[in-house]
Structure 1
Amino acid sequence: MAQNNFLSGVPWRNSRDLKTLVENRTTYTLDDCELNIFETHQQAENVNLVFGDLVLTAMLKGKKVMHLFDKPGFDYLPGESVIVPPNEVMKIDFPEAQLDNPTQCIALSISKEMIENTFNLLNEKFSDKVLTQEWGLDLSYFHLINTQDLSEIINRFIRIGVKERSREKDLIASLALKELLIRLSQTQAREMLEKTYKELSGGNRLAHVVNYIKENIRENIQLDELAGKACMSKAHFLRTFKQELGLTPMEYVLKERLKLARQYLLIGGFQIQEVSLMSGFNNTTYFIRAFKQEFGTTPKAFQNA
C-alpha cells in the first residue's frame, strides 16, 4: 500500500480528558456534515455505532474488525475507508487497542442534501459518463483502499474541521466536501473496474482500455494507442479517463506496472533490473524513483524487508 495514501491523523486526547476508553468521541459540527473522531484505548468487542446520515469512516491508527450488512467481519486498517449507509449498524471489535497502542478513526456523516446536490450538479455538467450511467456512490463498493487524491482531501477536511477558525469555515468545508464526494466516486469507479473489467470489456470503452493495459503492461503503451482503443480523440479520452477514474491513463499504466513489480519483488529471486524490465520499465533509475514515491521505500529495501 502506498505510504502517501495514509491519513495524517489528529492529536490524541489527553488521558485526563477521556470520558471513556472505548470509542471516546470528539465532534466538530458543520453546516453540511459532522466530523467525529473516535479513540479506543482498550480491547473491546461488539461495539455498536449508527448514524442517521451516510457516513465515510477512515482509519487513522490501529486496527478494527468491522461487521457490516450481516456479513463476516473484515480487518479495517490505516490507508482504508468504509462507506456506511444511513441507519446501518456498524458492529466493531478492537482486538489490539491498548492505552499505549490506541485505535483512532474518523466518521464523517454527510447530509443527504449535500450528497444529492453535489451529484445532481455533476450529472448536469458532466452527463457523458462512459463507465457508469451517472455520478453517485455505489454501496456495493463500500470498503476502499484510499487513493492519494482521496487521502489528501480527507486530510484537508480533517484540518478544516479541527483547526479552521475563520468565519468562512462552513463555506470552506462545503467546497472540500464536494471534492471529497467526487474523489469517493472516482475511487469506487476504480474499485469497480478492477473487479469487472474483463466482463465489461466487450461493451464498455474504459473497461476495454483497462483490459488492454493489463494484457500489454510490459509493452510500450502510448496515449494515442489507448485513445484509439476507446474510439475517442486523444483529448476526449484523456479528459474522460481522468474525470471518471481520478487519474490520467498514463498514471494508471504506471500504477499497474508498479503493482506488477511489487508482486515480482514479493516472489523474490530477481535482480532489481530484471524486475524493472519484466514490469514494463525500460529505465531502472526511473523505476526505482517511481517505486519509492509510490510505496515509500526502494525496491531493494522492499525486497529485503
Structure 2
Amino acid sequence: MPTLLPYTLASRDRSSLNKLDTLVENRKVFTLEKCELNIYETFQAAESVPLKFNDLVITSMLRGKKRMHARDNSLFDYVPGESLLWQANEWMVIDFPEATAEAPTQCVALTISSGEIEETLQFLNRRFPKVDESGEWNISMEEFYLLNSTDLAGAIEKIIRVSVEESRMKDMFAELALRELLLKLMQTQARQLIEKHYKQMSAHHRFATVIQYIKENRHQKILVDDLCRKVYMSRPNFFRIFKREFGITPVDYILKEKIQLAKELLENPAANISTVCYQSGFNSINHFIRIFRQFENCTPLKYKHRHMGKGH
C-alpha cells in the first residue's frame, strides 16, 4: 500500500528538543480558509494520549507506529500506508509504544470545514450521481480505517504540499485539492465497502456482481468484455462509471486482485515464482514481475524473502 513521505521539519537535535512545548504530539499548524493541516511529532513513548478536533479530520501516518484505541475499546496498530477518518468532537486515544528522540512518530491530521464537505457532496450528487441504488455520494463514518490507494495517497500529499508552501493563491489551490481528496476518500470507502459485502449488495448494486466475479476468478484470465456483458454496459461506459465509483479502472482492479492472490500464494515457503505466476492468472513471468513491482514496489522474490523473514 502506498505510503507518504515524512515531512522534513527543522533539525531535531537534543538541544532543539528542549525548546519544544511537548515531546508528545508536538504540533506544527498550517491554517487555511477551509481546512487546517496539523503535523504531529512524538519523541518519547507514551500511553492513552487523548486528542480531539472541532471538525471532521483525516489523519495519515508518515513515520513510526501508533496504537489506536478503537470505539469498541479494542486496540489496533496504525502505521504508514494507512489513514483514519475521525468525527468532529470525538475523542481519539493514542499509545506511542516505539517513539524515541532518534525515531519519532510523525502523523498529519487535516481538519475540513463542514461547509466545504457539504458543498463538495452537493456538487458530486448533482453532476455525477451514483449508479443503481447505491445511494448518494456521502462520507461514511463506519469505514473510518483506510488503506491508502495510490490516488488517495497522492491527494493527501497534494494538500500537504499546498498547505505548507508560501503562495498568495494557496487557499484557491487548497480548495481544489480538498475536493479531489474528498472524492478519493469516498471512492476508497466505496471500494472497501463493496469488497466486504459484495454478496449481500449484489441484489441492488450491479458492480457488486462484477467484484464478486473478479474475486472468484482472479486465478484465471478475466476479459473486460465479459464484465461489460454482466452489467449490460458498453465498454466505454463501463470503464467511465467503474472509475468514477471506485477511483480505479477495471483493468487495474483485476490486476490488484491477481497481485493480492500472488501475495497470498508467496506466503507458502514452498511456493516458487513461476508456479505463483501461473496460479495468479498471468501467462508471462516477465509481465507478472513487472506488474507485481508496480503494485508492491518490490519483486515477488523480495516479497517472499521479506515475508519469510517476518516468520522467523
In the alignment of these two chains, the number of paired residues is: 301
Name the SS of the counterpart of 2:100 in structure 1: coil
Q: What's the CA shift for 1:240?
A: 1.0
Identify the structure with bigger relative contact order (alpha carbons < 8 Å, sequence gap 6+).
Answer: 1
Q: 2:4 aligns with which of 7, 19, 36?
A: 7
Q: 2:162 aligns with which of 160, 163, 183?
A: 160
- Give the 4+ runs in structure 1 shifted more than 6 A: none
- 1:24 paired residue number: 26
Q: What's the CA shift for 1:243?
A: 0.1
Q: 2:57 aligns with which of 41, 55, 58?
A: 55
Name the SS of the counterpart of 1:267 in structure 2: coil
Taking structure 1 as the reference length, what is the TM-score of the superposition?
Answer: 0.96
Cα distance per residue 1:39-76 (max 9 Å; x no partner): 00000011111011000011000111112424312111
Q: 2:107 aligns with which of 105, 108, 130?
A: 105
- Determine the C-alpha separation between the residues in 1 that align with 2:73 and 2:178: 29
- 1:36 paired residue number: 38
Q: What's the CA shift for 1:18?
A: 2.2
Aligned residue identity for 1:158: I
Name the SS of the counterpart of 2:183 in structure 1: helix
Aligned residue identity for 1:289: R
Identity percentage over the alignment? 47
Q: Which runs of 5+ in 2 are unaligned?
A: 307-312
Taking structure 2 as the reference length, what is the TM-score of the superposition?
Answer: 0.94
- 2:193 paired residue number: 192
Q: What's the CA shift for 1:202?
A: 3.3
Superposition map of 1:171-182 within 5 A: 171-182=172-183
Structure 2 contact 49–94 (Cα < 8 Å) conserved: yes
Name the SS of the counterpart of 1:300 in structure 2: helix
Distance 1:131 1:108, change over 3 A: farther
Cα distance per residue 1:131-151 (max 9 Å; x no partner): 720111111100110001000
Aligned residue identity for 1:177: L
Q: Which runs of 5+ in 1 are unaligned?
A: none
- Determine the C-alpha separation between the residues in 1 that align with 2:240 and 2:44: 48
Q: 1:89 aligns with which of 91, 99, 109?
A: 91
- Determine the C-alpha separation between the residues in 2 that align with 1:167 and 1:203: 47
Structure 1 contact 68–89 (Cα < 8 Å) conserved: no
Matched, 1:236 2:237: yes
Aligned residue identity for 1:147: S
Name the SS of the counterpart of 1:238 in structure 2: helix
Structure 1 contact 131–244 (Cα < 8 Å) conserved: no
